[in-house]
Amino acid sequence: MILVSSIGEETAGKPTTVSLHVDDSLLVGSKESLLNVMSEMPKLGKVEFGELDAGECTHLGMKIRRAVDATGKFELWVSQPITLMKLFEAEEKWMKKARTGGAGGIRVDKDGVLEDATDFRSVLMTAAYVQRTRPDIREMVAKLTPKMQSPTEVDATRLRSLVKYLRETEDFEMRIATVDSLEVRVSADASFATGTKGRSISGLHLSLGTNGATMYARSTTQGSVAMSTCEAEIGAISLAAQEALWVAKMMRGQGEAVPRVVIENDNTSAIHLLKTGPTGKGRTKWLDVKTFWVHAKLEDQELELEYTKSEELVADGFTKGLGGEAFRKWRTRVLNWKA
């Protein structure tokens, strides 16, 4: 990382983004800055370069396609066709076993649990890997992940429905384009007591500006049981604040000016409590630790908290399944199809 930083300094004013993962690297920048970086890279040892001005490349299993929008600006379209192919093959293998009665098919015991969950796990883990470029399936995967050890026939049916959805949308890509602002925005929501053992589900969606691509999305069961909807929402906001501040710190460390860090939520009670601070009494006294931390960040102006209507809150789709037109509108946003 130090060497990459020094290369960046040598091309000051013409930044190059370098992504390194073991022996797989991706360089993005102007042609002049790329040539400067490439001239320094061989000092590390043997380095092989692909096409400098490639319109399409593969990085960490992702297909990255470059295009030009209607205004003449570059945009990237990201997908995982090879991983999808492996997913479909794994599901077909599983179903073939089920049809022939072989081990690993959908055979259940007296409690309705799969006798052999090996293929279920294989298909689900591959689907989970696809989430990197298909955030529209994250909520569905999150619901199935806790069932990994003892999946039921119902879980198997849901997983097959997920694979069917991916087959029908195999050509979908996530769009990455120029953003209107470098402010970090995180949409946070919670679904009260809908998770395992009465726990609530937190949903997060992080992007840059109001039109940025999905940088980070999460659908997760909260670590403790919330006593109310307000407490569940505060838990989600607290998690969102941690992620948002980390991204802002990382960007500022790279020399970027981050104008604001904004958390969006649809619960007025949670927003009011976080802005005014913990009371230390009554029904909210057990919330002190989480509310004090977020309240302190708000007072220090490290964070801003905004109310957003439920139907406009992107994180809503990561806490529960949406249907029909609501799902299609939400999918358009998380895949960033709308400019």
User: How far is residue 276 from each of residues 86, 245, 260, measured CA to CA in Å?
Assistant: 51, 20, 20
Last-in-domain residue among 168, 201, 217 = 168
Residues 297, 237 share a domain: yes
Domain residue limits at 24? 2-53
Q: How confident is residue 22, by pLDDT bands cut at 50, 70 and 90?
A: low
Res 38 pLDDT > 90: no
Token couple for 261: 């860090």
Residues 323, 191 share a domain: yes
Res 281 pLDDT > 80: no
Is position 66 within any domain? no
Residues 263, 330 share a domain: yes
Could you tell me the CATH number of the domain that includes residue 266?
Answer: 3.30.420.10
Give me the number of domains the chain comprises: 3
pLDDT of residue 10: 41
Q: How confident is residue 18, by pLDDT bands cut at 50, 70 and 90?
A: low
Residues 246, 222 share a domain: yes
Residues 39, 127 share a domain: no
Residues 154, 191 share a domain: no
Query: Average pLDDT in the 142-152 region?
Result: 91
Which residues touch 295 (CB under 8 Å, ≥6 apart)? 274, 275, 276, 277, 278
Q: Which of 129, 110, 123 is nearest to 155 (CA)?
A: 123
Which residues touch 165 (CB under 8 Å, ≥6 apart)? 137, 140
The sign of the torsion formed by the CA atoms of 80, 126, 247, 22 equals: negative
Res 286 pLDDT > 80: no
What is the three-class DSSP state of 200? coil
pLDDT of residue 8: 39
The string of pLDDT tens digits covering residues 291-308 is: 778 999 999 999 999 999
Residues 329, 273 share a domain: yes
Is position 71 within any domain? no
The string of pLDDT tens digits covering residues 157-173 is: 999 999 999 999 999 99
Residues 164, 113 share a domain: yes
pLDDT of residue 28: 66
Mean pLDDT of the chain: 84
Residues 240, 279 share a domain: yes
Give one DSSP letter per residue of 223-249, joined into a string.
SS--SSHHHHHHHHHHHHHHHHHHHHH
The string of pLDDT tens digits covering residues 66-116 is: 888 888 888 889 999 999 999 999 999 998 887 766 555 678 888 888 888
* pTM of the predicted structure, to 2 decimals: 0.84
Which residues touch 274 (CB under 8 Å, ≥6 apart)? 234, 237, 291, 294, 295, 298, 305
Res 20 pLDDT > 70: no
Is position 286 within any domain? yes
Is position 308 within any domain? yes
Residue burial 67-97, b: 16+ Cβ < 10 Å; e: rest = eeeeeeeebbbbbbeebbebbbebbeebbeb
Residues 189, 144 share a domain: no
Is position 339 within any domain? no
Is position 70 within any domain? no
Lowest average pLDDT, out of 60-69, 294-303, 311-320, goes to: 60-69
Residues 273, 207 share a domain: yes
Give the Cα separation of 38 and 26 in Å (integer): 11
Give the Cα separation of 127 and 200 in Å (integer): 23
User: How far is residue 178 from each of residues 33, 54, 76, 175, 213, measured CA to CA in Å?
Assistant: 19, 19, 10, 10, 9
The string of pLDDT tens digits covering residues 195-226 is: 888 999 999 999 998 888 999 999 999 988 88
Last-in-domain residue among 110, 140, 168 = 168
Is position 224 within any domain? yes
Residues 326, 197 share a domain: yes
Res 7 pLDDT > 60: no
Give one DSSP letter per residue of 204-219, joined into a string.
EEEEETTT---SEEEE
The neighbouring-strand residues paired with 66 are 76
Last-in-domain residue among 124, 144, 168 = 168
Is position 267 within any domain? yes
Query: Average pLDDT in the 223-235 region?
Result: 90
